[in-house]
Every structure is written in structure tokens, then in C-alpha cells.
């Protein structure tokens, strides 16, 4: 172990060779000063280049000489700069937005040939400013809903923002907001995500094998970066929609040095429904609302140091009152995150980001009636420290290494109850503490002109520490037979996870490539749902001596081709994923079973696999552009304690998934967007038999094997029209009387959208009922399908100044 730093430095030194100098700097938006992510920095004569990182920093080490460097980014004018490299050169570049009327494809922020030339398979970068023309549910642009239009990413169903990537569960997606983990990215039971698009700069989804700098989840990483805030002038953005409104304020604290951005959103569903519930009604006081607040401060301390402080706070509150029955309950839940990050440049080739992050997610259910009160809550709190180094030894290598530590505190289930003055003995709140850590090293290496690899290794670890009490329950009586008590910081169980990652790209000929990847991942944090629908009652809990880490190995390969001078891009990717130590609740588990018990005593464990093929064709430019994505996939699970150990389809096993997203720039000010999606129906467990309990006078259902049946397919079409208001107005010059056209201060647009254009009644859930009178001896049984959203028009007015 002692020689590891020496070995590392030697390795890094060897990567840098010859008389070379480094061109480095930051690339920013000329009007706002925001760092731009993924800008191509390219020297055509050498055929070498790099891209800016998530902070807008780039570093390119070349042989001594003079070069013409091209800086290019979608939506911005190309910028050329002469660089004389006889010493290390720092060049900070400002790029201006393009005036080109050609409508760039709405969601890609990458360089035009990234499809074929990048090693990273299954990675998509979304440009937030461009997705606002895609039809959105109730006019609310939603990042999580947008990624579900991509192949390999499946929706959780109507009204559900949870998403499934290549057969992985919703807990297998790592969602980061400025490096803070977001545990529940949903409002209103999944109808909206917690992300306010106005405050977001970049969204990057990695669904193929994730590189070694990411870990902790098996299926994907959704990395969301907030805007920094305009460094040059004050601006406001906002929108007024049918059910929610939002406002974003940003501006300089000190021009070109420090900035802020503050963004808020609130729904007014409670205001809309209040007239339906008069004050005299027994239900007065009932209602629902959610809000989000996002804030960020940035400070450029020096040419080498930058500081960022960002935070998110969001809440959903649902309240129900019935005064007649003296019954009330309310359900608050939400996330809070805070990140403090420090960028430091050691030199032109070595960049480091150091982060301290706090995350808190909690959910509570509080109710009471006639002096009886009840409270159930669940939460998770993380404190995280990490350092990520990026070393650019030369133009052929891009090395990343770093470490990551998180202290977790879980409260999977906290229960309290009282009747009058009597406080029921609900036991102490069970808190579970854990240390999670990782170190990694990866290199993105241009082995030859055609062959590029991204090879890395991550070593992760999870340690469950006390205080903790392990309950050993008698299965016949439910009584605690014995306990084992662990003291503060005492180790209960430790797991180690070696995680090799490898991906490669071989350029076959111009504009096509073959890519291949293997990724081995460990996941130490898990989500279990008691119900069949994703709810905030889902419990997050860590690995313990009973709960082993989930392990996933994904093999993927793909063929990528661009056509017609990169105007079209297409790809075919196939994957196979093996999953171990999957988790489900045992059947007939109830929340109160966690009382004086361990949550993991209610769990059962199994395995699974998933495989599929993803087809993608996109037209990147032109007035008419968009994409078609189709996925064929199969996802299966097996648990010894479920269905006698037989294999069954996962809840989200979806054989076919098709998305068509199109846009047409009708004129300079009018854009039309359309979406069509089709998906195989969700798998379903049906009642196959029944018996009549004469002791209870009840019909008892006997269910089929799990998920043995299918709902009807889901499909719908959405349409939207975005009309930009005129950006200029006439102004008469007082002196000359001449009429000039001047730019308006407030730029606005109207968005008209129709969700579910042909009013398809897509299945939301099925319930079973009977009709007839048992006393008359004639009863018929049937199934009823409930659908959620019919054709729904909406109007949103967006503005900025």
C-alpha cells in the first residue's frame, strides 16, 4: 500500500512525454459568463482535441508549435484562436450564441460526431434550453419525463416520474444535483419531478456502463448541473402555467467574479380546489401543494480557484381533514440538499474539484382521530466528502482519479402512537449508520487514430456501524427471541466491491464506429416498495449483515453511424445485464412490522437478468428534426420465497418501447413539436381463483403467479406549438422622428400543448369488483381499468428579462 502513491505518480509522469506545452482555460457563454460543458476544443491539423469538463475547463497538451484552435459548441458560433505553444498558455474563451436559423436538434449538446467518436456508449447530454419546445404534461417541462423518450429508458407508467434503465429498478439510478444525491425525485406521487428546468444548465444521462468515477448504483447516472447564474447582468425567467408557476432570478454579485441564481416553483392545485371545499364543510383544510426552491452562489476567487455553494429545498404537503369524524392526517415529504464545491487548478494539466455535500430526504405520515394519534416517518441523511482529480498529461490521455466518502444515517421506519395521555411503546427510532467509500482511477486513452478506450477501476466499500440492535424473531410468534447490541461506531458488517470498468471504441471508417463495454457495479443503498406503485412510503435502507450489496454486471456493444455529413446519426446497441442480491419485501409485510424489529427481517432476496437491443435514428439539424428510438428488451427476476422460486417478469419488463420525437420550425417565431410513444403494457398479477370464507362472509382472492399477465399497451400522442412573441418593437426617435426597431426588454413566448391528443384511455391500474346481491344468490365478477389523463390542453406563458 505504501508504494501506491509512488506508483501512481510514476504512471502519471510516464503519460506525459516529449517537449510539450499545455493550452488550457475556461470556455464561457459571452452574454452570461456561464461555463459551457462539453465544448469541443480541436486542432484540425493534428486531428487532436478535447472537451470542456463540467465546470467549463479544458486542457490540451500538444507538441511545441503554432496551431489554429477551433472552439465549437451546439448553438454557438465557432470560434478560432491562434495558439503559439512555446510555453504553457492560458486562454479563456467567450462563445456567442449562434444567429443561425437552422434549428439544432433539441436535446443534444455534444459535438456533432460524438455519436461515433466518443467511447462512452449509452450517454446522452440534454440541452435544457432546447427541450422546452417538446410537448410537456400540463405545460410543465420536465427533465425526467424527457429522458424517458430515449431508447433504453422506460417510464414508470402514467403519472410516475420514476424511470427504469435497461431493466434496472428505480433505485438503481443515481440522481445527482450539483453532486448531491437526490433520493426521491418526484412530486405529487410521481406526476412531476423535483427539478425546475429554469435553474438547470445541463443534464447528462449515462445508461451504458458508467465510467469508474461514478458508482453506488447499478443502472444509470443522471448527473444534473445547475446554472451558475449570470455573471454580467441581472435577469429573470419565469412561467405561468395552469397548475404551477415558476420564477428564476440571477445576476452578478460582483461582475465577472461572483454570481447568484435563485429559482422557485409552486403549484396552486390547493388554490384551485379550495373553492370546492367551503369553510363550513367538514373537509375544510384539506388540500395539496408542492414547492421547490433552488439557490446557488459562485465566486471566482482567483484564476486558479472557484467556489460554488448550491442548495435545493422542496416539499410536498398533503392534508386531509374530516371535522365530523374528528379525523385528520397530513403527509409531508421532501428533499433538501446543499453542496459546497471548490475547484482548484494545481497547474495547467491538473484540475481538482473538492466537494462537501449534505443530503436529507424524509417522509412522514401523521394522523389522528378522537384523541388517538399516529405517526410514521422514514428518512435518510448523508454527509459526503469527495475529491475528483482530472489530469491531462497529453492529448492522448485524460486521466481521472479520486476518492469519495459518505456517512449515511437511515431511519427506515419510525413509528409513534398515542391514545389520550397514554403514549404507546413504539420503541426507539431505529437509526442505521453506515460508512460508504470509494477510490477510483480511469484513463481515457487514444491508443491509435481509430482505437480509443476508457479503462478504469473503482474499489468501493460499505461498512455498517453501530449503534444497532439486531432482533432475532421467532417466526411462529413474532416475539423477539434475542438481540445483539452493537455500540457506537462498532463494526457490524463490512463489504468490499472491486468494480472494473472498460469501454472501447473502434472507428471503422469515416462516420461509423463499433463500441464495446463491460461494467461491474456494486450498490449498497436499496429501495423497497411495499405497494405495487412507487410512493414516498418506499423505504431507503442500506446493506447490512442480511442485506448484501446488489451486484450488476453489464455487457454492451453497439454500432454507431453518422450520415450525410453528421446531419443524421444512428445506432444499434445490445446489452446483457446480470443482477444479484435483488431485494423485495416478503409478501404480507406491513409498515408496523418494522416496530421493534429490523427492516431487513421483512425482506427476501433474489436475482435477475435483463437483455435488449436499442435502435436510434436522429436528424440533428434542419427546420424539421427529431428522433426515433425503439427498444426490445426482456427483464426477469427470481426469488426463492416468491412463486416457489420460479422466474417471473419484473414489474417493468417491457418487451417493446417506441418513442418518436419530432420538431418543425414553421417560421422564425413558431415551432411545432410532437411526440408519439408506444410501450408494451406493464406486467400484472391477476386473480385466478377465489374462495368464499363462510366464517367471515368474504370473498378471498387467490392470485396468479407474479406478473404472469399484461395490461393493454400504452400509447399516446402529444402536440405543442410554441409561439415566440416579437422580440423587437417600434420606437420613435424624439429628435429625428424616425421609427426605429428596438429590442424588447421582456422576451416572452406562449406554449400551447395538448397531452394525449387522441384521448387514449391508457391503463393506470386495474381493480376487481363484483356486482349483484349475494343474498339473492347471484354475483358476477369483473375487472375495471382506471385511466388517468384524457386529452389535456394547457397553456403556459414563459418570460425572461
Partner 1 sequence: MKKFFYILCVLLLINCQKEIEFDLPDVEQTFVLEAVVESGLPPRVIVTNTQGYFDPLDSNSFLNMFVDNAMVELHDGDTTFELVYSFVNSNGVILPGYTSFDPEIIGQYGKNYTLHVQVGDKEAHAKAQIPHPVILDSLWFFAYEAYDSLGFIWAKFTDPDTVGNCYRWFAQRINSYTYNYDPPFDNVKGTMKDNRPLAPIGSSTDDKLFNGLSFDFAVPRGEDGILEGPDDQGPERGFYKRGDTVLVKSTTTTYPTYLYVRAMENQAVSNGSIFSSPGNLPYNVEGDGLGVFIGYGVSYDTLICE
Q: Which is nearer to partner 1, 330 or 596 (CB)?
A: 596
Min dist CB 687 to partner 1, Å, is 4
Q: Are 550 and 169 in contact (CB under 8 A)?
A: no
* Near partner 1 by CB under 8 A: residue from 604, 685, 727, 748: 685
Instruction: Calculate the dihedral angle through the C-alpha atoms of 83, 87, 88, 94, rounding to the nearest 10 degrees.
Output: -30
In residues, how long is the chain?
A: 801
* Near partner 1 by CB under 8 A: residue from 19, 87, 280, 476: 476
* Near partner 1 by CB under 8 A: residue from 233, 484, 701, 740: 701
Can residue 417 be called a binding residue for partner 1 (CB under 8 A)? Answer: yes
Min dist CB 243 to partner 1, Å, is 10
Q: Are 242 and 137 in contact (CB under 8 A)?
A: no
* Near partner 1 by CB under 8 A: residue from 44, 790, 795, 801: 790
* Near partner 1 by CB under 8 A: residue from 81, 270, 366, 712: 712
* Near partner 1 by CB under 8 A: residue from 788, 797, 799, 800: 788
Q: Which is nearer to partner 1, 35 or 606 (CB)?
A: 606
* Near partner 1 by CB under 8 A: residue from 254, 690, 726, 744: 690
Min dist CB 431 to partner 1, Å, is 19
Can residue 422 be called a binding residue for partner 1 (CB under 8 A)? Answer: yes
* Separation of alpha carbons 160 and 684, rounded Å: 17
* Near partner 1 by CB under 8 A: residue from 11, 624, 692, 801: 692
Size of the site for partner 1 (CB under 8 A): 80
Q: Which of residues 372-411 bind partner 1 (CB under 8 A)?
A: 372
Q: Which is nearer to partner 1, 88 or 418 (CB)?
A: 418
Q: Which is nearer to partner 1, 399 or 757 (CB)?
A: 757
Can residue 424 be called a binding residue for partner 1 (CB under 8 A)? Answer: yes
Q: Are 329 and 368 in contact (CB under 8 A)?
A: yes
Min dist CB 368 to partner 1, Å, is 13
- Pick the piece of the chain touching partner 1 (CB under 8 A) from 145-153, 440-448, 450-458, 786-794: 786-794
Can residue 747 be called a binding residue for partner 1 (CB under 8 A)? Answer: no
Q: What is the DSSP string of 577-591?
A: EEEEEEEEEPTT--G
* Separation of alpha carbons 478 and 178, rounded Å: 45
* Separation of alpha carbons 201 and 225, rounded Å: 6
Can residue 693 be called a binding residue for partner 1 (CB under 8 A)? Answer: yes
- Pick the piece of the chain touching partner 1 (CB under 8 A) from 168-176, 422-430, 615-623, 628-636: 422-430
Can residue 324 be called a binding residue for partner 1 (CB under 8 A)? Answer: yes
Nearest to 752 by CA among 349, 256, 242: 242
* Near partner 1 by CB under 8 A: residue from 6, 697, 742, 745: 697
CA 71 to each of CA 41, 47, 52, 74: distance values in angstroms, whole numbers, following the listed order:
5, 14, 10, 11
Spacing of C-alpha 757 from chain mean position: 27
Q: Are 198 and 244 in contact (CB under 8 A)?
A: no
- Pick the piece of the chain touching partner 1 (CB under 8 A) from 41-49, 305-313, 417-425, 554-562: 417-425
Q: Which of residues 224-243 bind partner 1 (CB under 8 A)?
A: none
- Pick the piece of the chain touching partner 1 (CB under 8 A) from 196-204, 440-448, 743-751, 759-767: 759-767
Q: Which is nearer to partner 1, 646 or 774 (CB)?
A: 774
* Separation of alpha carbons 136 and 180, rounded Å: 26
Q: Which three cell numbers stand for residue 7?
A: 506508483
Q: Which is nearer to partner 1, 18 or 275 (CB)?
A: 275
Can residue 482 be called a binding residue for partner 1 (CB under 8 A)? Answer: no
Nearest to 680 by CA among 662, 658, 655: 655
Min dist CB 478 to partner 1, Å, is 5
Q: Which is nearer to partner 1, 595 or 628 (CB)?
A: 595
Min dist CB 528 to partner 1, Å, is 12
Q: Which is nearer to partner 1, 196 or 529 (CB)?
A: 529
Q: What is the DSSP string of 544-601?
A: -SSSPPEEEEEEEEEEEEEETTTTEEEEEEEEEEEEEEEEEEPTT--GGGGTTS-GGG
Q: What is the three-class DSSP state of 472?
A: strand
Q: Which three cell numbers stand for residue 556?
A: 454492451
Q: Which of residues 241-300 bind partner 1 (CB under 8 A)?
A: 272-273, 275-276
Can residue 783 be called a binding residue for partner 1 (CB under 8 A)? Answer: yes
Q: 282 exposed, middle or buried (CB, 10 Å; 0-12, 13-18, 19+)?
A: middle
Element (H, E) at 388: strand 372-394
CA 474 to each of CA 479, 594, 597, 600, 776: distance values in angstroms, whole numbers, following the listed order:
5, 14, 11, 15, 46
Handedness of CA 130, 136, 139, 144 (dihedral sign): negative
Q: Which three cell numbers stand for residue 252?
A: 452578478
Nearest to 241 by CA among 683, 795, 718, 735: 795
Q: Are 388 and 402 in contact (CB under 8 A)?
A: yes
Can residue 699 be called a binding residue for partner 1 (CB under 8 A)? Answer: yes
DSSP 137: G
Min dist CB 393 to partner 1, Å, is 54
The partner residues of 794 in beta bridges, in order of sequence, read 753
DSSP 143: H
Q: Which is nearer to partner 1, 78 or 326 (CB)?
A: 326
* Separation of alpha carbons 635 and 797, rounded Å: 42
Q: Which of residues 196-215 bind partner 1 (CB under 8 A)?
A: none
- Pick the piece of the chain touching partner 1 (CB under 8 A) from 178-186, 249-257, 666-674, 762-770: 762-770
Q: Which of residues 499-538 bind partner 1 (CB under 8 A)?
A: 530-533, 535
Q: Which of residues 537-596 bind partner 1 (CB under 8 A)?
A: 587-588, 590, 592, 595-596
- Pick the piece of the chain touching partner 1 (CB under 8 A) from 162-170, 498-506, 574-582, 685-693: 685-693
Cis-peptide, bond into residue 467, ω within 30° of zero: yes
Q: Which is nearer to partner 1, 428 or 780 (CB)?
A: 780
Nearest to 441 by CA among 456, 462, 419: 456
Q: Which is nearer to partner 1, 302 or 369 (CB)?
A: 369
Can residue 426 be called a binding residue for partner 1 (CB under 8 A)? Answer: yes
Can residue 605 be called a binding residue for partner 1 (CB under 8 A)? Answer: no
Q: Which is nearer to partner 1, 695 or 733 (CB)?
A: 695
Min dist CB 477 to partner 1, Å, is 5
What does the per-residue mask of binding to partner 1 show for 74-113, with x meaning CB under 8 A? ----------------------------------------
- With helix as H, strand as E and coil as C, how does 713-780 read? CEEEEEEEEEEECCCEEEEECCCCCCEEEEECCCEEEEEEEEECCCCCCCEEEEEEEEEEEHHHCEEE
Can residue 5 be called a binding residue for partner 1 (CB under 8 A)? Answer: no
Amino acid at each position: 500500500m505504501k508504494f501506491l502513491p509512488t506508483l501512481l505518480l510514476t504512471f502519471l509522469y510516464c503519460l506525459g512525454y516529449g517537449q510539450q506545452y499545455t493550452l488550457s482555460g475556461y470556455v464561457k457563454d459571452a452574454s452570461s459568463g456561464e461555463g459551457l460543458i462539453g465544448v469541443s476544443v480541436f486542432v484540425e491539423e493534428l486531428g487532436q482535441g478535447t472537451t470542456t469538463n463540467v465546470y467549463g475547463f479544458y486542457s490540451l497538451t500538444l507538441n511545441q508549435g503554432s496551431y489554429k484552435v477551433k472552439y465549437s459548441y451546439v448553438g454557438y458560433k465557432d470560434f478560432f484562436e491562434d495558439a503559439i505553444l512555446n510555453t504553457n498558455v492560458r486562454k479563456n474563451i467567450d462563445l456567442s450564441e449562434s444567429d443561425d436559423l437552422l434549428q439544432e436538434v433539441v436535446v443534444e449538446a455534444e459535438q456533432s460526431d460524438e455519436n461515433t467518436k466518443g467511447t462512452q456508449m449509452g450517454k446522452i447530454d440534454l440541452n435544457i434550453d432546447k427541450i422546452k419546445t417538446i410537448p410537456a404534461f400540463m405545460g410543465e417541462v420536465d427533465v425526467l419525463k424527457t429522458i424517458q423518450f430515449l431508447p433504453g429508458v422506460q417510464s414508470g407508467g402514467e403519472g410516475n416520474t420514476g424511470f427504469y434503465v435497461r431493466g434496472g429498478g428505480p433505485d438503481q439510478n443515481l440522481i445527482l444535483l450539483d453532486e448531491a444525491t437526490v433520493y426521491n425525485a418526484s412530486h405529487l406521487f410521481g406526476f412531476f419531478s423535483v427539478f425546475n428546468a429554469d435553474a438547470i444548465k445541463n443534464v447528462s444521462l449515462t445508461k451504458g456502463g458508467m465510467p469508474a468515477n461514478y458508482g453506488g448504483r447499478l443502472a444509470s447516472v443522471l448527473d444534473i448541473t445547475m446554472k451558475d447564474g449570470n455573471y454580467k447582468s441581472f435577469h429573470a425567467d419565469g412561467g405561468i402555467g395552469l397548475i404551477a408557476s415558476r420564477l428564476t432570478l440571477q445576476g452578478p454579485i460582483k461582475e465577472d467574479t461572483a454570481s447568484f441564481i435563485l429559482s422557485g416553483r409552486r403549484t396552486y392545485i390547493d388554490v384551485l380546489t379550495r373553492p370546492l371545499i367551503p369553510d363550513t364543510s367538514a373537509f375544510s383544510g384539506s388540500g395539496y401543494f408542492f414547492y421547490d426552491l433552488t439557490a446557488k452562489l459562485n465566486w471566482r476567487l482567483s484564476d486558479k480557484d472557484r467556489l460554488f455553494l448550491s442548495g435545493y429545498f422542496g416539499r410536498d404537503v398533503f392534508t386531509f381533514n374530516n371535522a365530523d369524524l374528528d379525523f385528520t392526517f397530513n403527509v409531508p415529504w421532501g428533499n433538501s440538499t446543499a453542496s459546497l464545491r471548490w475547484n482548484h487548478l494545481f497547474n495547467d494539466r491538473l484540475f481538482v474539484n473538492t466537494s462537501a455535500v449534505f443530503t436529507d430526504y424524509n417522509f412522514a405520515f401523521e394522523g389522528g382521530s378522537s384523541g388517538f394519534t399516529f405517526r410514521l416517518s422514514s428518512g435518510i441523511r448523508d454527509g459526503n466528502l469527495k475529491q475528483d482529480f482530472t489530469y491531462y498529461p497529453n492529448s492522448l490521455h485524460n486521466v481521472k482519479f479520486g476518492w469519495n466518502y459518505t456517512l449515511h444515517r437511515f431511519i427506515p421506519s419510525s413509528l409513534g402512537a398515542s391514545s389520550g395521555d397514554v403514549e404507546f411503546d413504539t420503541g426507539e427510532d431505529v437509526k442505521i449508520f453506515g460508512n460508504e467509500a470509494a477510490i477510483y482511477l480511469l484513463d481515457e486513452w487514444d491508443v491509435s487514430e481509430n482505437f480509443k478506450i476508457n479503462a478504469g477501476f473503482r474499489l468501493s466499500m460499505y461498512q455498517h456501524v453501530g449503534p444497532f440492535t439486531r432482533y432475532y424473531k421467532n417466526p411462529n410468534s413474532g416475539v423477539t427471541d434475542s438481540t445483539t447490541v452493537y455500540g457506537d461506531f462498532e463494526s457490524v458488517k463490512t463489504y468490499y466491491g472491486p468494480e472494473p470498468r472498460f469501454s472501447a471504441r473502434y472507428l471503422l471508417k469515416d462516420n461509423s464506429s463499433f463500441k464495446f463495454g463491460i461494467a461491474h457495479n456494486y450498490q449498497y443503498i436499496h429501495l423497497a416498495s411495499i405497494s405495487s406503485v412507487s410512493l414516498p412510503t418506499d423505504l431507503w435502507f442500506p446493506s447490512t449483515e442480511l442485506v448484501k450489496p446488489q451486484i450488476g454486471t453489464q455487457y454492451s456493444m453497439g454500432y454507431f453511424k453518422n450520415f450525410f455529413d453528421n446531419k443524421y446519426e444512428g445506432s444499434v446497441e445490445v446489452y446483457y445485464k446480470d443482477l444479484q442480491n435483488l431485494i423485495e419485501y416478503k409478501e404480507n409485510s406491513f409498515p408496523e412490522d418494522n416496530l421493534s424489529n429490523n427492516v431487513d427481517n421483512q425482506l427476501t432476496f433474489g436475482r435477475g437478468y435483463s437483455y435488449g437491443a436499442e435502435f436510434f435514428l436522429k436528424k440533428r439539424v434542419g427546420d424539421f428534426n427529431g428522433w426515433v428510438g425503439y427498444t426490445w428488451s426482456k427483464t426477469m427476476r427470481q426469488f426463492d420465497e416468491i412463486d416457489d422460486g420460479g422466474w417471473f417478469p419484473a414489474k417493468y419488463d417491457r418487451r417493446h418501447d417506441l418513442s418518436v420525437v419530432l420538431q418543425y420550425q414553421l417560421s422564425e417565431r413558431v415551432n411545432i413539436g410532437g411526440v408519439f410513444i408506444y410501450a408494451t403494457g406493464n406486467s400484472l398479477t391477476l386473480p385466478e381463483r377465489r374462495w368464499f370464507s363462510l366464517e367471515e362472509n368474504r370473498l378471498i382472492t387467490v392470485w396468479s403467479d407474479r406478473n404472469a399477465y399484461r395490461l393493454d399497451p400504452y400509447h399516446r400522442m402529444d402536440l405543442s406549438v410554441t409561439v415566440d412573441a416579437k422580440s423587437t418593437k417600434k420606437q420613435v426617435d424624439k429628435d429625428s422622428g424616425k421609427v426605429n426597431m428596438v429590442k424588447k426588454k421582456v422576451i416572452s413566448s406562449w406554449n400551447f400543448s395538448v397531452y394525449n391528443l387522441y384521448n387514449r384511455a391508457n391503463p393506470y391500474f386495474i381493480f376487481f369488483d363484483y356486482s349483484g346481491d349475494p343474498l339473492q344468490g347471484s354475483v358476477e365478477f369483473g375487472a375495471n381499468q382506471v385511466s388517468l389523463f384524457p386529452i389535456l390542453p394547457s397553456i403556459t406563458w414563459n418570460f425572461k428579462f
